[in-house]
Amino acid sequence: MSQPVLDPRALARHLEAKQFIDGKLVAGKSGQTFDVNSPATGELVGKAAAGDAADVAAAVSSAAAAQAAWAKVPARQRGKLVAECGRLVDEHKEELARLVALETGKALRTESRVEAGVLADAFHFYGGLGSELKGETVPFNPDMLTMTVREPIGVVGAIIPWNVPMMLMALKIAPALVAGNSVVVKSAEEAPFAVLRVAELMGRILPPGVFNILSGMGPECGGPLVAHPKVGKITFTGSVETGKIIYRAAAEKLIPVTLELGGKSPMIVMDDADLDKAVAGAISGMRFTRQGQSCTAASRMYVQRGIHDRFVTALKAKVDAMKMGDPLDETTDIGTIVSRQQYEKVNAYIATGRKEGGTAHECSAMPADAKLAKGLYVRPVIFTGLPKDSKVVREEIFGPVTAVMKFDTFEDALAAANDSEYGLAATIWTKDLKTALDGARRLQAGFVQVNQNLVVQPGLSYGGVKTSGLGKEATLEAMLEHFTTKKTIIVNMA
């Protein structure tokens, strides 16, 4: 299938029960599969290979064998090949968008096409950085030539989630590959197919074994990947709970990890903020078009008393005007929750918020189409009146649920925003420069923005503090720090 395949069902059938090992789509070792159903209609999208320790052994062995030769390819040439992968996925972006929309329920126009459209950017960005894998010379002793060199780690294991599966994968594998590592990815159960297609495309460009991808369950497939003696580094994006399991397993082997975990990102809106911009920012920040399934979702909105009521009214009106529907329909703004498990979790939080005394403003409307009757749709909810120790205010929901809270002084807002175990992202909305800068400095988060809400961008350091994670992604430094080791070489010239 070398031409783009715009029918996502046909593409899923082509990828059914397959792993990508040693440069080819191959049947999983055990022959076991699991169903991937469309969360919008319940239809079977395809059966995915249920990877286990035997698949991990095959993929790691292929990766380890390929890595030595890959590390000898000049760094700029590795970068060129990775950039070529970017060009190829870009040619296939529409098919990738359709496939990810079908398997995850993310609306095509507002989300899936956006993800597929920026995917190449990560490959192009890192593809240009091969020559930046520099070492240093050290003026240690005039009789000794002393230098450092950056070397690849070896085989990198990457475990990825389902919410932005292709882009989050690219931000891990592109720097790992350019740095001279080989990679084995474990995809998320909910979204195995689009990333497998990306692998198949990359396989036309990269030498066999340099890049492998397995689908399977977390403990049965991700577990053996982390534990494998030849895997020298794990990079993970997902839940705090799984992050801790991975960190413990990595400690047993004393290997480095990068963890990009959850968040409960605050948005502070001051009285003097531009109301229209703040409301638009609340909608994009909360990722209502992605059903709030984002680690940086602006799920705590602290709004100053003077602007609070107007903000809530305008936000409700805007979210009401968004259309929930079939993810593959061009007119749909909001698709579905990814899985039954997440759907139940989100609904339980909405029920809890009501019990805790909050008012749940339900927005938009359930889709009318009968074929979507079993779809995992949740109407976006804006809570007001929640106490500050509410679970809805404190815990990551990963659904279309935000809490709007009133405050009086800037100090109150900052204290509330920082009163969280998380520290991934934050925004502040004000026209006052001093308040903006003071807030930016004092907010405990890895990614702070003033009067805007950009998502992760290649070139801008991305990652959290507190329980939101360890290590940063998306920059040159991330490639150097997380995917290479530094060796010191001292040559006696005397």
Q: Which of 260, 363, 396, 406 is catalytic?
A: 260
Asked if residue 163 binds ligand NAI (CB under 6 A), the reply is: yes
Question: Which residues on adjacent β-strands are paired with residue 97?
Answer: none
Q: Of 137-145, 231-239, 298-306, 322-330, which segment contacts ligand NAI by CB under 6 A?
A: 231-239
Please state, in angstroms and rounded to a whole number, the distance separating the CA atoms of residues 31 and 44: 18
Of 46, 105, 192, 238, the residue at the interface with ligand NAI (CB under 6 A) is 238
Q: Of 34-42, 218-226, 301-309, 411-419, which segment contacts ligand NAI by CB under 6 A?
A: 218-226
Query: How far is residue 271 CA from its own chain's centroid?
Result: 33
Please state, in angstroms and rounded to a whole number, the distance separating the CA atoms of residues 275 and 278: 5
Of 8, 79, 152, 161, the residue at the interface with ligand NAI (CB under 6 A) is 161
Question: Least separation, in Å, of the C-beta of 353 and ligand NAI?
Answer: 16
Asked if residue 262 binds ligand NAI (CB under 6 A), the reply is: yes
Of 237, 258, 299, 449, the residue at the interface with ligand NAI (CB under 6 A) is 237
Please state, in angstroms and rounded to a whole number, the distance separating the CA atoms of residues 25 and 203: 9
When the beta carbons of 390 and 484 are compared against ligand NAI, the nearer one is 390
Please state, in angstroms and rounded to a whole number, the distance separating the CA atoms of residues 444 and 414: 9
- 8-state DSSP, 462: B
Question: Least separation, in Å, of the C-beta of 107 and ligand NAI?
Answer: 18
Asked if residue 242 binds ligand NAI (CB under 6 A), the reply is: yes
Asked if residue 184 binds ligand NAI (CB under 6 A), the reply is: no
Question: Least separation, in Å, of the C-beta of 346 and ligand NAI?
Answer: 8
Asked if residue 104 binds ligand NAI (CB under 6 A), the reply is: no
Helix axes 113-127, 93-104, angle to 10 degrees: 130
Of 79, 127, 222, 281, the residue at the interface with ligand NAI (CB under 6 A) is 222
The span from the first CA to the last CA of the chain, in angstroms, equals: 61
Task: Check if 473 is active-site.
Answer: yes
Which run of H or E residues covers position 486?
strand 484-492
CA distances from 272 to 308, 414, 454 (A): 11, 16, 21
Asked if residue 189 binds ligand NAI (CB under 6 A), the reply is: yes
Asked if residue 260 binds ligand NAI (CB under 6 A), the reply is: yes
Asked if residue 245 binds ligand NAI (CB under 6 A), the reply is: yes
- 8-state DSSP, 323: P
Q: Which amino acid is at 142?
A: P
Under a CB-based contact definition with an 8 Å cutoff, are residues 353 and 360 in contact? yes
Asked if residue 95 binds ligand NAI (CB under 6 A), the reply is: no
Contacts of 404 (CB under 8 A, 6+ apart): 301, 303, 308, 311, 312, 315, 382, 383, 384
Asked if residue 23 binds ligand NAI (CB under 6 A), the reply is: no
What dihedral do alpha carbons 225, 228, 230, 231 form, nearest 10°? 40
Task: Check if 295 is active-site.
Answer: yes
- 8-state DSSP, 108: I
* Helix ranges restricted to H, 374-449: 391-394, 410-418, 433-442
Please state, in angstroms and rounded to a whole number, the distance separating the CA atoms of residues 145 and 492: 7
Question: Least separation, in Å, of the C-beta of 339 and ligand NAI?
Answer: 8
Asked if residue 219 binds ligand NAI (CB under 6 A), the reply is: yes
Question: Least separation, in Å, of the C-beta of 182 and ligand NAI?
Answer: 19
SS3 214: strand
The two structure tokens encoding residue 136: 């240093």
Residues in region 286-345 near ligand NAI by CB under 6 A: 295, 342, 345
Of 56, 188, 298, 404, the residue at the interface with ligand NAI (CB under 6 A) is 188
Task: Check if 362 is active-site.
Answer: no
Q: Which of 85, 221, 295, 363 is catalytic?
A: 295
Asked if residue 205 binds ligand NAI (CB under 6 A), the reply is: no
Catalytic residue numbers? Answer: 172, 260, 295, 473
Applying CB under 6 A, which residues contact ligand NAI?
Answer: 159-161, 163, 186, 188-189, 218-219, 222-223, 226, 237-239, 242, 245-246, 260-262, 295, 342, 345, 396, 398
